[in-house]
Amino acid sequence: MVPDWKIYPRSQGHSTVYLKNVVTNPDIEVGEYTMYDDFVNDPRDFQKNNVLYHYPECNNDKLKIGKFCSIACGAKFIFNAANHALQSLSTYPFPIFFEEWNLPTDTASIAKAWDSHGDINVGNDVWIGYEAVIFSGVTIGDGAIIGTRAVVTKDVPPYTIVGGVPAKPIRKRFDEETVKKLENIRWWN
Could you read off the pLDDT of 112-127 as tens digits, one per residue? 666 678 899 999 999 9
Q: How far apart are CA 83 and CA 117, in angstroms?
A: 10
Smallest Cα–Cα separation from 164: which of 140, 189, 129?
Answer: 129
Confidence of residue 89 (pLDDT cuts 50, 70, 90): confident
Per cent of the chain over pLDDT 70 is 91
Q: Which SS3 state, helix, strand or coil, does residue 94 take? A: helix
Are 79 and 136 in contact by the 8 Å Cβ rule? The answer is yes
Q: What is the pLDDT of residue 3?
A: 61
Q: So which residues are the catalytic ones? A: 84
pLDDT tens-place string over residues 141-160: 999 999 999 999 999 999 99
Instruction: At 56, give phi and psi (nearest 5°).
Output: -60, -20
**Measured CA distances, 57 to 54, 145, 161 (Å):** 9, 31, 33
- What's the mean per-residue pLDDT of the chain? 90
Q: What is the pLDDT of residue 132?
A: 98
**N residues, the chain:** 189
Q: What is the CATH number assigned to the segment(s) 4-185? A: 2.160.10.10
pTM: 0.90
Q: How far apart are CA 77 and CA 2, in angstroms?
A: 25
Q: How far apart are CA 43 and CA 8, in angstroms?
A: 10
Are 48 and 22 in contact by the 8 Å Cβ rule? The answer is no
Q: How far apart are CA 50 and CA 71, in angstroms?
A: 11
